[in-house]
Amino acid sequence: MTADAVTYTYTDSPLGRILVAQNSVGLVLISFQQTPEAESPQPDWHFVETLDGEATDQLCAYFNGQLHEFDLPLAPQGTAFQQAVWQALQSIAYGQTWSYAELAQQVGRPKAVRAVGAANGRNPLPIVIPCHRVIGSNGTLTGYRGGLPLKQALLSLERQHRPTLSSQLAISFA
């Protein structure tokens, strides 16, 4: 296998089966398989029962409410603008949400709300790069590649497992 070869596997989650793919640099794709926009492995990708690294373990811990911040090498492919948006998305704390306008402000393009929304929708690493945490400025759920029910489920999971202020203080002073 070449250094840039992509390996992939499937993992089960409470929200269905997920395709997880990585190359020698890091994760390149996470795709919910029961959505209309599900992506399939490319013909030159190699199936493995278990990926090297911790990607599937961290996803499992996330779904169990035990992981609030991922620590994985990432290798999403996109334009410089998309990369900037995806980097900014990683600043949204677990259980929190930003509006598309706030995200546009964060990337230094406050008038580019639609372009930011489009870049958000092209995120190849949902959950790990938390595009589900972006909502409409009026607080409504808008657009999600996996569908709004999936976005709602992810936000509900995070609200359910969000650390309380008292647990954060206990951690801070421990």
Model confidence over 69-120: pLDDT tens digits? 999 999 999 999 999 999 999 999 999 999 999 999 999 999 999 999 999 9
Q: Which of 18, 75, 131, 150 is catalytic?
A: 131
On whether the CB atoms of residues 1 and 45 are closer than 8 A, the answer is no
pLDDT band at 155 (very low <50, low <70, confident <90, very high): very high
Q: What is the pLDDT of residue 40?
A: 94
On whether the CB atoms of residues 95 and 162 are closer than 8 A, the answer is yes
Q: Higher model confidence: residue 140 or residue 91?
A: 91
Tokens describing residue 131: 């595009």
* Mean pLDDT, rounded, for 159-174: 59
Tokens describing residue 94: 């677990």
Sequential DSSP letters for 45-89: -EE-SS-SSSHHHHHHHHHTT--SS----B-----HHHHHHHHHH
131 a catalytic residue:
yes
Q: Higher model confidence: residue 128 or residue 1?
A: 128
Average pLDDT, the chain: 89
